[in-house]
């Protein structure tokens, strides 16, 4: 192809930069004459670090400023952790690629002085740090005798906070830990039947302007069809249920089988304290990924998730 340019927008954390440089390397590998640059953009989620994500109550905390730069033409594409990308994109923007997914599971990182390496085997009263209501509710559903504390910041900051604390450990997405080469800190990779991941967890999303055919042609080579199918189902479910950090929602879709492979999706909605967890599963054709996710969302609502969502919504309006 003719020589071209690609300006990538990203957050400035170590993990975000790893993802942006991965996209850069993949583009350079496929299009050697493409001039790729990376622009670091600070987001609201990066600036507001003294409040839990659930209390900020805003969508697009880690994406809005980057999307503005994309719409204004200051960058050509935005690289995100797909779990941070709201399901409703700003008008004029599209998801150009869902890159091949890393391990979707969460991981338990024990304190260096804690000999108990697994989450559910911690002694009663152990403090577990997490910045996610989804994780907190599922942990408390299994072990209501544990305590949770909120933690914010990038992975480096969280590791430092853990070492300086008296916590038993913390729960993070394993994908980020693996990408940064910190697997030795992991005590346990948590099974999805214990803690379901966030929608889109482990996948990198590349966002572009809808009419920018040149950039779409560059980034679409990074799109991984099984990942795209899975996250389409998960994001459709999330859109039907409720967007935002205030609702404990987990989902995991994947392709199962070989020649007659089908799409399977597990999902859950939980009360904030974990006392009620509504969980379900659906299977469908890969071509019907969005419908498969939406159908499961309706099943969860009919099974009691609707009451949980209404209760959390009303509590948020009162606060």
Catalytic residues: 84
Write out the two tokens for 114. 């804690």
Kindly report the length of the chain: 319
Spatial separation of the C-alpha atoms in residues 192 and 181, rounded to whole Å? 22
In the numeric block, which tokens belong to residue 160? 């430092």
What is the spatial distance between Cα 49 and Cα 35, in angstroms, rounded to a whole number? 34
Tokens of 286: 């890969």
d(CA 59, CA 45): 10
CA angle 197, 199, 200 (to 5 degrees): 100
In the chain, count H helices and then E strands: 11, 13
Distances 49 to 42, 164, 180 between C-alpha atoms, Å: 13, 18, 22
- Please count the other Cβ atoms lying within 10 Å of the Cβ belonging to residue 213: 10
> Which of 198, 188, 206 minimizes the C-alpha distance to 230?
198
């Amino acid at each position: 192809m003719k020589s071209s340019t690609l300006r990538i927008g990203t957050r400035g954390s170590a993990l975000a930069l790893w993802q942006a440089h991965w996209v850069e390397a993949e583009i350079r590998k496929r299009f050697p004459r493409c001039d790729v640059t990376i622009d670091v953009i600070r987001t609201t989620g990066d600036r507001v670090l003294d409040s839990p994500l659930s209390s900020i109550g805003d969508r697009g905390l880690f994406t809005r400023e980057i999307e503005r730069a994309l719409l204004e033409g200051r960058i050509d594409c935005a690289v995100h952790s797909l779990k941070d990308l709201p399901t409703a994109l700003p008008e004029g923007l599209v998801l150009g690629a869902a890159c091949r997914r890393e391990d979707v599971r969460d991981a338990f990182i024990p304190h260096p002085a804690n000999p108990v390496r697994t989450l559910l085997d911690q002694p009663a009263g152990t403090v577990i740090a997490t910045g996610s209501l989804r994780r907190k509710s599922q942990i408390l559903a299994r072990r209501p005798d544990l305590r949770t504390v909120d933690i914010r910041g990038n992975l480096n900051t969280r590791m430092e906070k853990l070492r300086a604390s008296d916590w038993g450990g913390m729960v993070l997405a394993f994908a980020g830990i693996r990408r940064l080469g910190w697997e030795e800190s992991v005590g346990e990779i948590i099974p999805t039947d214990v803690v379901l991941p966030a929608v889109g967890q482990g996948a990198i999303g590349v966002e572009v302007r809808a009419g920018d055919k040149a950039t779409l042609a560059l980034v679409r080579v990074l799109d991984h069809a099984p990942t795209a199918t899975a996250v389409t189902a998960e994001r459709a479910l999330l859109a039907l249920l409720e967007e935002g950090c205030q609702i404990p929602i987990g989902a995991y879709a994947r392709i199962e089988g070989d020649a007659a492979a089908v799409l399977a999706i597990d999902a859950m909605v939980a009360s904030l304290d974990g006392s009620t967890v509504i969980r379900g599963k659906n299977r469908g054709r890969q071509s019907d990924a969005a419908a498969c996710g939406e159908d499961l969302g309706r099943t969860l609502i009919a099974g009691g998730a609707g009451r949980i969502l209404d209760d959390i919504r009303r509590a948020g309006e009162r606060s």
